[in-house]
Structure 1
Amino acid sequence: MADYRHILYVHFEIPLGGAVIATATLRSLKESNPSLKVSVVASGHSLDLMAASPYVHKLHAAPNPIKSPLLAFLYAATKIFPERKEYDAIVLDYGNRRSLITVFAILTGIKERIGYSVRPCLLHSRAHHNSNDSNIARNNKALAKLTRNPLKETEPSIHFCHNDIDIYDSFFSRYSEARPRVVFVTETSKGHPNAWYADRFVMVGKLLISQYDALVILIGTAANKEDINNIRQGIGHDSVSLAGQTSPRQLAALMACCDFCISADTGAMHVARAVTLPTVILGNAAQPVGLWLPPAGLDYIELIRKDHLPCTICWKLKCETKECMDEISVEDVESAFLRLKSRVSWGKEARKQRVLDFSS
């Protein structure tokens, strides 16, 4: 077996969820082989999320080959190729199996290419997975050749800087530390069957404020700011929208400073997961439960998912009726919230510990 000392991990996957999932693979690799140096070439969300990671030796900020192939190829040839001998292998995980990303890997000149590609003949070692594997397991299999033992599946982890935390000190100083801080993730990809209903988020928000004195914080992208503000206005007092005001890493810092999250099955849910924020997930049943969702048995996760429907595992990317989401009631969410609240630590000390665990 080859002795790998330094690898370059490629991560240009655009969706936020995939970028968060990649942090689990880096963590697994370093825990399995602490002496291995892992450098990363990335852009977008991945670049932001990995900037403070203790598992990354060196971070290359490169143009994305999918969005700007010529600029990306130029970067590979002029920035990485000259230092190619520093690396024993370049790794493409499951989310980066695109042809243009494979060409980028070739142009780096690194002697061994391993992992996934839609054109496996361009790799020296191809990873294999089965349809029941989670996305974390699929990524880990891309790295199987680098370790003597199979990588254990670990949870994602996002680390942030003290500057990311400082942003929220003045924000939270306006509110009592005794109140439960609840993040709402209402935004999903338009039309996907993982969207819940704005009016139900409003009802949950009002209930948490009136019954449990919660502070409700809505997050999301600038593109969805208007819809999120409409939900906030429906909830009324003691709710605030930070839509469009956080980078992914800042969002992780914000979530670490909170107590609970109510989230659709979407990218920001994985950010909450990656800082162990107790989360109620409103899960759609379009895909196998283990593909994207956290594994069973995590005490900080409550998954609501209606698997009894005949259309379960439909694999639809668009759904007009959304039966599996329609079945999730406000009462379901309140019950899941109360189960979480009764079994996890929350409040000032729990927030402080979470910040210590994930700040670097």
Structure 2
Amino acid sequence: MLVFEFKAYGKSSQFTAVDEAIRTAQFVRNSCLRYWIDNKKVNKYDLNKYCAVLAASFPFADELNSQARQASAERAWSAISRFYDNCKKGTPGKKGYPKFQKDCRSVEYKSTGWKLADDRKSINFSDKKGIGKLKLKGTRDLHFYQINQIKRVRLVKRADGVYVQFCIDVDRKENTEPSGNTIGLDVGLKEYYTDSNGVTVENPRFLRKGEKVLKRCQRRVSRKTKGSKNRGKARQILGKQHFKISRQRKDHAIKLARCVVQSSDLIAYEDLRIKNMVQNHCLAKSINDASWYQFRIWLEYLGKVFERVTVAVNPQYTSQECSNCGEVVKKTLSTRTHVCKCGCTLERDFNAAKNILSRGLGTVGHTGTFALDASNALGESISTLAGEILSQQIDS
């Protein structure tokens, strides 16, 4: 499934209608969740039927396209099914009991309620909300895909405007020749990552660089009267600055992951639990600014696209063990050089990256130079999922 995004342009009255459609989608989703709480043994199909009851009871709900109402009910059911799955798996901690949504920013249409223009440069929404025709501007070309391949259309509201997303049913595969290289990655705060070849990539620190502007925008918001139009404008400017930083992080993660995947046949990295790591209030800000989890997500996705092997290994003692002899050399976080009795002296992250690669190769077997068929097989069977435990995936 590919998701193409375009910036939408229209009149202010049209964007007001988009806001109304999003609020209606939130109402349907929360109403379905309340229906599930109040009634026992409610399944996905019962929630879809309940959408018709809501449309008959509330005129503003009837104005939204029927399949858009069903998509909102499916959102409620996805939260419910996630809660059920966590309970069945015995996930430690909170199980994620479904909550009512307070700030919905998107509405989703299925196969009806919209029509794409022949030139693929505009889209017309035909439900009773009155959104009408919106012009599209983006870098993707929709002429390569048939209309029946577009399974969902989303209207997403962001800090800098409204966007239209097209969910296209197509498998993305790119054939590349095996490179014969294997690599281990150790992420950090000083350098973004250090690989098993000793190559380091600088940490861009987008939040730290933009913090001065963010603080100035935040002060402007604080000075304005609550509920005033000036405060709303100041909040919009602040939101744009945060959105800019998030885009910078995403762009950096995608480009870096693509370079790593294209240059290596096997990529080993640490199976870090970022949620637990950010509980350290001294490092939480820097860890979130580094966006390690987003980098991992794109590594795994592009690994499937380019048919590469991605392995998440246990991070325990990767910095303490000697990559030469295996001896455990205890060191604090401030100690940046690994010195072992065997005479091995390496930079701390370089030593950890070599240990990560060794564990990755121990998981899938020593690979050497991959043949294309073997690479395909490994890419389908060994690629790990973000947030999953490695040992459970290998056993399964």
TM, length-normalised to structure 1 = 0.27
Structure label with greater radius of gyration: 2
TM, length-normalised to structure 2 = 0.25
